[in-house]
Amino acid sequence: MSLENTFTVNCPKCGHEQDVIVWSSLNVQLNPEAREDFQSGKINLFTCDACGTQAAMNVPFMYHDMERKFCVQFYPEDSINDDVIFGNYKQEKDSSNVVFSDSHMPEYEKKNMGYLLRQHIVFSMQEAYLYVRFMEKLHEHSKNK
């Protein structure tokens, strides 16, 4: 599932008010055109219609790929101190792996969508872009073997 909402924001430079689309999650199979926007750095990027100023919309964002079975979850850096995100994750026993602690997911979804429980957590959008590029290349490499 992809989630996008429209918010009214003011430009940090000139104060111009405008509507901006903010993505909370992007499923690239459901929104392939938005995948291109993500890859070109346009997802959650504010561009002022009046003065052209650009600013990142520093909000949590999940990118997931059902075909390649991976997802990456971006949290703004200040989220590291937020107990809310720590309530959503747990460290696997005897491992450095982190899993989403969603005990409400039905078993049939865990089989088919279990990769959503093993989200790769990042604290910059640049890191998210690089992880997606890596996973896509890895998938292609594995497919060609």
Tens of pLDDT along the chain (145 residues)? 789 999 999 999 999 999 999 999 999 999 999 999 999 999 999 999 999 999 999 999 999 999 999 999 999 988 877 776 777 777 776 666 676 665 555 565 556 667 877 788 899 999 999 999 999 999 998 888 7
What values do phi and psi take at 43, rounded to 5? -70, 130
For the entire predicted model, the pTM comes to 0.82
Are residue 20 and residue 40 in the same domain, yes or no?
A: yes
Same domain, yes or no: 36 and 107: no
SS3 27: strand
The pLDDT score that the predictor gives to residue 105 is 59
pLDDT attached to residue 145: 73
**Burial letters 105-136, b for 16+ CB under 10 A, else e:** eeeeeeeeeeebbebbbbeebeebbebbeebb
Give yes or no: residues 26 and 75 share one domain.
no
73 with 3, same domain: the answer is no
Structure tokens at 100: 């989403």
Q: What is the pLDDT of residue 115?
A: 80
**DSSP-assigned letter for residue 78:** G
Shared-domain flag, residues 68 and 48? no
Of 24, 91, 94, residue with least CA distance to 64? 24
Q: Give the structural domain span for 44.
A: 1-58
For residue 35, the SS3 value is helix
| 54 and 67 housed in the same domain | no
* pLDDT (0 to 100) of residue 109: 59
**119: which DSSP letter?**
P
Q: What total number of domains does the chain contain?
A: 2
Strands (E), the chain: 3-10, 17-27, 45-47, 54-56, 61-65, 70-74, 89-91, 98-100, 120-122
Question: For residue 117, what are its two tokens?
Answer: 């429980």
